[in-house]
Amino acid sequence: MAADTQGGTSAGRSMFWQRFRRNRPAMLSAAALVLIALAALLAPAFEAVLGVDATRVDLFNQYAAPDGSHWLGTDEAGRDVLVRLLYGGRISLLVGLVAALGAATIGTAVGLLAGYYGGRLDTLLMRSTDGFIALPLLPLLIILAAVDLAKVGVPPDIANSELASLYRIIFIIALVGWTTVARLVRAGTLSVRTREFVRAAEAMGARPATIMLRHILPNIVSPIIVATTLSIGTVILLESVLSFLGLGIQPPIPSWGNMLTNAQELATRAPALAVWPGVVIFVTVMAFNFLGDGLQDALDPRATRR
Protein backbone atom coordinates (compact mmCIF):
# COMPACT_ATOMS: atom_id res chain seq x y z
CA MET A 1 0.00 0.00 0.00
CA ALA A 2 2.83 2.41 0.88
CA ALA A 3 4.62 1.58 -2.37
CA ASP A 4 1.41 2.22 -4.33
CA THR A 5 0.95 5.55 -2.58
CA GLN A 6 4.53 6.61 -3.29
CA GLY A 7 4.18 5.50 -6.88
CA GLY A 8 0.99 7.48 -7.30
CA THR A 9 2.59 10.55 -5.78
CA SER A 10 5.63 10.29 -8.06
CA ALA A 11 3.42 9.80 -11.10
CA GLY A 12 1.34 12.83 -10.13
CA ARG A 13 4.42 15.00 -9.73
CA SER A 14 5.81 13.81 -13.04
CA MET A 15 2.54 14.58 -14.82
CA PHE A 16 2.37 18.01 -13.17
CA TRP A 17 5.91 18.84 -14.27
CA GLN A 18 5.28 17.65 -17.84
CA ARG A 19 2.16 19.80 -18.12
CA PHE A 20 3.82 22.82 -16.56
CA ARG A 21 6.94 22.48 -18.71
CA ARG A 22 4.87 22.50 -21.90
CA ASN A 23 3.47 25.90 -20.94
CA ARG A 24 6.20 28.20 -22.24
CA PRO A 25 4.72 31.49 -20.94
CA ALA A 26 4.54 29.97 -17.45
CA MET A 27 8.11 28.67 -17.62
CA LEU A 28 9.43 32.03 -18.83
CA SER A 29 7.42 33.79 -16.13
CA ALA A 30 8.81 31.51 -13.41
CA ALA A 31 12.35 32.19 -14.63
CA ALA A 32 11.72 35.94 -14.71
CA LEU A 33 10.31 35.92 -11.17
CA VAL A 34 13.29 33.94 -9.89
CA LEU A 35 15.67 36.46 -11.47
CA ILE A 36 13.73 39.42 -10.03
CA ALA A 37 13.63 37.85 -6.56
CA LEU A 38 17.34 36.99 -6.63
CA ALA A 39 18.24 40.48 -7.78
CA ALA A 40 16.17 41.99 -4.96
CA LEU A 41 17.76 39.70 -2.39
CA LEU A 42 21.23 40.60 -3.69
CA ALA A 43 20.57 44.35 -3.50
CA PRO A 44 23.29 44.87 -0.82
CA ALA A 45 25.77 43.01 -3.03
CA PHE A 46 24.97 45.23 -6.02
CA GLU A 47 25.29 48.24 -3.73
CA ALA A 48 28.76 47.12 -2.61
CA VAL A 49 30.00 46.17 -6.07
CA LEU A 50 28.89 49.46 -7.63
CA GLY A 51 30.21 51.44 -4.67
CA VAL A 52 26.99 53.39 -4.15
CA ASP A 53 24.63 54.03 -1.25
CA ALA A 54 20.89 53.72 -1.91
CA THR A 55 20.07 56.29 0.79
CA ARG A 56 22.88 58.80 0.18
CA VAL A 57 21.65 62.12 -1.20
CA ASP A 58 24.01 63.80 -3.67
CA LEU A 59 22.46 66.96 -5.07
CA PHE A 60 25.55 67.57 -7.23
CA ASN A 61 24.82 64.33 -9.14
CA GLN A 62 21.13 64.75 -9.97
CA TYR A 63 19.72 63.10 -13.09
CA ALA A 64 23.07 61.58 -14.00
CA ALA A 65 23.15 59.50 -17.16
CA PRO A 66 23.85 55.76 -16.90
CA ASP A 67 27.54 54.95 -16.48
CA GLY A 68 29.80 52.36 -14.90
CA SER A 69 28.84 53.34 -11.35
CA HIS A 70 25.14 54.08 -11.97
CA TRP A 71 23.83 51.56 -14.49
CA LEU A 72 20.41 53.22 -14.70
CA GLY A 73 21.50 56.72 -13.74
CA THR A 74 20.47 58.70 -10.67
CA ASP A 75 17.23 60.29 -9.50
CA GLU A 76 16.27 63.80 -8.40
CA ALA A 77 18.25 63.36 -5.16
CA GLY A 78 21.33 61.89 -6.79
CA ARG A 79 20.56 58.35 -5.56
CA ASP A 80 21.30 55.29 -7.68
CA VAL A 81 18.14 54.20 -9.53
CA LEU A 82 19.11 50.54 -9.99
CA VAL A 83 19.89 49.91 -6.33
CA ARG A 84 16.70 51.67 -5.24
CA LEU A 85 14.75 49.51 -7.69
CA LEU A 86 16.24 46.40 -6.12
CA TYR A 87 15.48 47.53 -2.58
CA GLY A 88 12.00 48.58 -3.70
CA GLY A 89 11.53 45.11 -5.17
CA ARG A 90 12.21 43.64 -1.74
CA ILE A 91 9.36 45.67 -0.26
CA SER A 92 6.89 45.19 -3.12
CA LEU A 93 7.50 41.44 -3.34
CA LEU A 94 7.30 41.11 0.45
CA VAL A 95 3.95 42.91 0.50
CA GLY A 96 2.67 40.78 -2.36
CA LEU A 97 3.71 37.44 -0.86
CA VAL A 98 2.75 38.10 2.77
CA ALA A 99 -0.56 39.82 2.00
CA ALA A 100 -1.53 37.10 -0.52
CA LEU A 101 -0.68 34.34 1.97
CA GLY A 102 -2.60 36.14 4.71
CA ALA A 103 -5.64 36.56 2.48
CA ALA A 104 -5.42 32.89 1.44
CA THR A 105 -5.30 31.81 5.08
CA ILE A 106 -8.40 33.83 5.96
CA GLY A 107 -10.23 32.67 2.86
CA THR A 108 -9.33 29.03 3.46
CA ALA A 109 -10.63 29.15 7.03
CA VAL A 110 -13.88 30.82 5.97
CA GLY A 111 -14.42 28.43 3.06
CA LEU A 112 -13.71 25.31 5.12
CA LEU A 113 -16.09 26.32 7.90
CA ALA A 114 -18.84 27.33 5.49
CA GLY A 115 -18.55 24.24 3.31
CA TYR A 116 -18.18 21.69 6.11
CA TYR A 117 -20.81 22.88 8.58
CA GLY A 118 -23.28 24.36 6.10
CA GLY A 119 -26.61 25.65 7.37
CA ARG A 120 -26.81 29.01 9.06
CA LEU A 121 -23.04 29.32 9.42
CA ASP A 122 -22.63 28.81 5.68
CA THR A 123 -25.28 31.42 4.96
CA LEU A 124 -23.72 33.94 7.35
CA LEU A 125 -20.18 33.49 6.04
CA MET A 126 -21.13 33.52 2.37
CA ARG A 127 -23.38 36.57 2.71
CA SER A 128 -20.48 38.31 4.46
CA THR A 129 -18.25 37.28 1.58
CA ASP A 130 -20.74 38.67 -0.93
CA GLY A 131 -20.82 41.90 1.05
CA PHE A 132 -17.03 42.24 0.84
CA ILE A 133 -17.13 41.50 -2.88
CA ALA A 134 -19.78 44.18 -3.42
CA LEU A 135 -17.63 46.87 -1.82
CA PRO A 136 -15.59 49.02 -4.26
CA LEU A 137 -12.08 47.74 -3.61
CA LEU A 138 -9.84 50.69 -4.45
CA PRO A 139 -11.91 53.39 -2.65
CA LEU A 140 -12.14 51.09 0.37
CA LEU A 141 -8.37 50.58 0.41
CA ILE A 142 -7.81 54.33 0.07
CA ILE A 143 -10.08 55.03 3.05
CA LEU A 144 -8.46 52.36 5.22
CA ALA A 145 -4.95 53.46 4.24
CA ALA A 146 -5.76 57.07 5.13
CA VAL A 147 -6.83 56.24 8.69
CA ASP A 148 -4.54 57.74 11.34
CA LEU A 149 -3.23 54.77 13.34
CA ALA A 150 -2.62 56.88 16.43
CA LYS A 151 -6.33 57.77 16.57
CA VAL A 152 -7.53 54.17 16.53
CA GLY A 153 -5.60 53.04 19.57
CA VAL A 154 -2.28 51.99 18.03
CA PRO A 155 0.65 52.86 20.34
CA PRO A 156 2.47 56.00 19.12
CA ASP A 157 5.81 54.18 18.90
CA ILE A 158 4.31 51.75 16.38
CA ALA A 159 2.09 54.25 14.58
CA ASN A 160 5.00 56.61 13.93
CA SER A 161 7.61 54.00 13.03
CA GLU A 162 9.04 53.69 9.52
CA LEU A 163 7.60 50.20 9.10
CA ALA A 164 4.06 51.18 10.16
CA SER A 165 3.00 51.85 6.56
CA LEU A 166 4.37 48.47 5.49
CA TYR A 167 2.48 46.55 8.17
CA ARG A 168 -0.71 48.52 7.51
CA ILE A 169 -0.69 47.84 3.78
CA ILE A 170 -0.16 44.11 4.32
CA PHE A 171 -2.95 43.98 6.92
CA ILE A 172 -5.42 46.00 4.84
CA ILE A 173 -4.94 44.02 1.64
CA ALA A 174 -5.12 40.68 3.47
CA LEU A 175 -8.28 41.86 5.23
CA VAL A 176 -10.18 42.54 2.01
CA GLY A 177 -8.53 40.09 -0.41
CA TRP A 178 -9.72 36.72 0.90
CA THR A 179 -13.07 36.46 -0.84
CA THR A 180 -11.98 34.59 -3.99
CA VAL A 181 -10.17 31.89 -2.01
CA ALA A 182 -13.14 31.55 0.35
CA ARG A 183 -15.56 30.80 -2.48
CA LEU A 184 -13.18 28.34 -4.12
CA VAL A 185 -12.51 26.51 -0.85
CA ARG A 186 -16.20 26.34 0.01
CA ALA A 187 -17.01 24.82 -3.39
CA GLY A 188 -14.21 22.27 -3.01
CA THR A 189 -15.25 21.42 0.53
CA LEU A 190 -18.86 20.81 -0.52
CA SER A 191 -17.58 18.38 -3.15
CA VAL A 192 -15.12 16.51 -0.91
CA ARG A 193 -17.17 16.26 2.29
CA THR A 194 -19.53 13.68 0.75
CA ARG A 195 -16.79 11.24 -0.26
CA GLU A 196 -16.27 7.89 1.40
CA PHE A 197 -13.01 8.65 3.21
CA VAL A 198 -14.58 11.70 4.89
CA ARG A 199 -17.63 9.68 5.91
CA ALA A 200 -15.34 6.96 7.27
CA ALA A 201 -13.38 9.50 9.33
CA GLU A 202 -16.63 10.86 10.76
CA ALA A 203 -17.84 7.35 11.59
CA MET A 204 -14.58 6.68 13.45
CA GLY A 205 -15.20 9.73 15.64
CA ALA A 206 -12.62 12.10 14.17
CA ARG A 207 -13.00 15.70 15.27
CA PRO A 208 -14.28 18.23 12.70
CA ALA A 209 -11.00 20.17 12.81
CA THR A 210 -9.06 16.97 12.07
CA ILE A 211 -11.35 16.09 9.18
CA MET A 212 -11.08 19.55 7.66
CA LEU A 213 -7.30 19.83 8.00
CA ARG A 214 -6.21 16.25 7.29
CA HIS A 215 -8.84 14.93 4.89
CA ILE A 216 -10.51 17.84 3.11
CA LEU A 217 -7.84 20.54 2.85
CA PRO A 218 -5.16 18.37 1.13
CA ASN A 219 -7.69 17.48 -1.58
CA ILE A 220 -8.57 21.10 -2.40
CA VAL A 221 -5.13 22.66 -2.13
CA SER A 222 -4.67 23.03 -5.92
CA PRO A 223 -7.18 25.87 -6.44
CA ILE A 224 -5.81 27.58 -3.32
CA ILE A 225 -2.28 27.56 -4.79
CA VAL A 226 -3.51 28.90 -8.12
CA ALA A 227 -5.67 31.63 -6.58
CA THR A 228 -2.88 32.72 -4.23
CA THR A 229 -0.34 32.88 -7.06
CA LEU A 230 -2.68 34.96 -9.20
CA SER A 231 -3.46 37.29 -6.31
CA ILE A 232 0.21 38.13 -5.67
CA GLY A 233 0.36 40.16 -8.87
CA THR A 234 -2.87 41.94 -7.94
CA VAL A 235 -1.53 42.75 -4.48
CA ILE A 236 1.69 44.20 -5.91
CA LEU A 237 -0.38 46.34 -8.26
CA LEU A 238 -2.62 47.54 -5.40
CA GLU A 239 0.41 48.39 -3.26
CA SER A 240 1.90 50.32 -6.16
CA VAL A 241 -1.34 52.25 -6.69
CA LEU A 242 -1.65 53.15 -3.00
CA SER A 243 2.01 54.13 -2.78
CA PHE A 244 1.62 56.19 -5.96
CA LEU A 245 -1.27 58.03 -4.28
CA GLY A 246 0.90 58.65 -1.21
CA LEU A 247 -1.12 56.26 1.00
CA GLY A 248 1.09 53.18 0.80
CA ILE A 249 4.71 52.59 1.69
CA GLN A 250 6.15 55.85 2.97
CA PRO A 251 9.71 57.12 2.38
CA PRO A 252 12.48 56.59 3.25
CA ILE A 253 11.47 52.96 2.64
CA PRO A 254 11.60 52.51 -1.16
CA SER A 255 8.95 50.65 -3.11
CA TRP A 256 8.12 50.57 -6.79
CA GLY A 257 4.94 52.55 -6.13
CA ASN A 258 6.50 55.44 -4.23
CA MET A 259 9.32 55.58 -6.78
CA LEU A 260 6.61 56.31 -9.35
CA THR A 261 5.18 58.95 -7.03
CA ASN A 262 8.53 60.73 -6.86
CA ALA A 263 8.88 60.55 -10.65
CA GLN A 264 5.42 61.82 -11.65
CA GLU A 265 6.43 65.48 -11.50
CA LEU A 266 9.64 64.79 -13.41
CA ALA A 267 8.12 62.95 -16.36
CA THR A 268 9.21 65.58 -18.87
CA ARG A 269 12.67 66.22 -17.40
CA ALA A 270 13.67 62.64 -16.52
CA PRO A 271 11.14 60.18 -17.98
CA ALA A 272 13.36 57.19 -17.19
CA LEU A 273 12.63 57.64 -13.48
CA ALA A 274 9.02 56.68 -14.20
CA VAL A 275 9.78 54.13 -16.90
CA TRP A 276 11.95 51.76 -14.84
CA PRO A 277 9.58 51.18 -11.88
CA GLY A 278 6.65 50.99 -14.31
CA VAL A 279 8.43 48.33 -16.34
CA VAL A 280 9.32 46.14 -13.35
CA ILE A 281 5.76 46.42 -11.98
CA PHE A 282 4.34 45.42 -15.37
CA VAL A 283 6.75 42.52 -15.85
CA THR A 284 6.24 41.19 -12.30
CA VAL A 285 2.45 41.37 -12.38
CA MET A 286 2.24 39.75 -15.82
CA ALA A 287 4.71 37.04 -14.77
CA PHE A 288 2.61 36.12 -11.73
CA ASN A 289 -0.51 36.01 -13.89
CA PHE A 290 1.10 33.71 -16.46
CA LEU A 291 2.54 31.56 -13.67
CA GLY A 292 -0.89 31.22 -12.09
CA ASP A 293 -2.42 30.21 -15.43
CA GLY A 294 0.34 27.64 -15.92
CA LEU A 295 -0.19 26.18 -12.45
CA GLN A 296 -3.91 25.97 -13.09
CA ASP A 297 -3.36 24.00 -16.30
CA ALA A 298 -0.74 21.74 -14.69
CA LEU A 299 -2.75 21.00 -11.54
CA ASP A 300 -6.03 20.40 -13.38
CA PRO A 301 -6.36 16.64 -13.98
CA ARG A 302 -8.68 17.37 -16.91
CA ALA A 303 -6.06 19.52 -18.66
CA THR A 304 -5.29 18.34 -22.17
CA ARG A 305 -2.17 18.63 -24.27
CA ARG A 306 -2.10 21.99 -26.03
Q: Tell me the mean pLDDT in the region 84-101.
A: 93
In a domain, 243, yes or no: yes
In a domain, 305, yes or no: no
Question: Does residue 16 surpass a pLDDT of 60?
Answer: yes
Question: Does residue 6 surpass a pLDDT of 70?
Answer: no
Question: Does residue 50 surpass a pLDDT of 90?
Answer: no
Upper half-sphere CA count for residue 189 (Cβ side, 13 Å): 26
pLDDT of residue 43: 92
Q: Tell me how far apart the alpha carbons of residues 274 and 116 are, in angstroms, rounded to a whole number.
A: 49
List, for residues 244-262, the tens digit of each pLDDT value.
Answer: 887 888 877 888 988 888 7
In a domain, 306, yes or no: no
In a domain, 273, yes or no: yes
pLDDT of residue 280: 93
Q: Tell me the mean pLDDT in the region 160-180.
A: 86
What is the pTM (predicted TM-score) of this model? 0.86
Q: Tell me the mean pLDDT in the region 74-92.
A: 91
pLDDT of residue 2: 38
Q: Tell me how far apart the alpha carbons of residues 96 and 239 are, in angstroms, rounded to a whole number.
A: 8
Q: Which pLDDT band, with edges at 50, 70 and 90, does 1 fall under?
A: very low
Q: Tell me the mean pLDDT in the region 178-196.
A: 92
Q: Which pLDDT band, with edges at 50, 70 and 90, does 11 fall under?
A: low
pLDDT of residue 254: 87
Question: Does residue 5 surpass a pLDDT of 50?
Answer: no
pLDDT of residue 139: 85
pLDDT of residue 305: 46
- Give the percent of the chain with pLDDT over 70: 94
- The CATH number linked to 35 is 1.10.3720.10
In a domain, 304, yes or no: no
- Give the percent of the chain with pLDDT over 90: 40
In a domain, 114, yes or no: yes
pLDDT of residue 123: 94
Domain that includes residue 60, residue range: 2-299
pLDDT of residue 297: 84
In a domain, 284, yes or no: yes
- Average per-residue pLDDT for the chain: 86
Number of structural domains in the chain: 1
pLDDT of residue 44: 92
pLDDT of residue 12: 62
In a domain, 213, yes or no: yes
In this predicted model, which residue has the larger pLDDT, 266 or 220? 220
Question: Does residue 47 surpass a pLDDT of 60?
Answer: yes
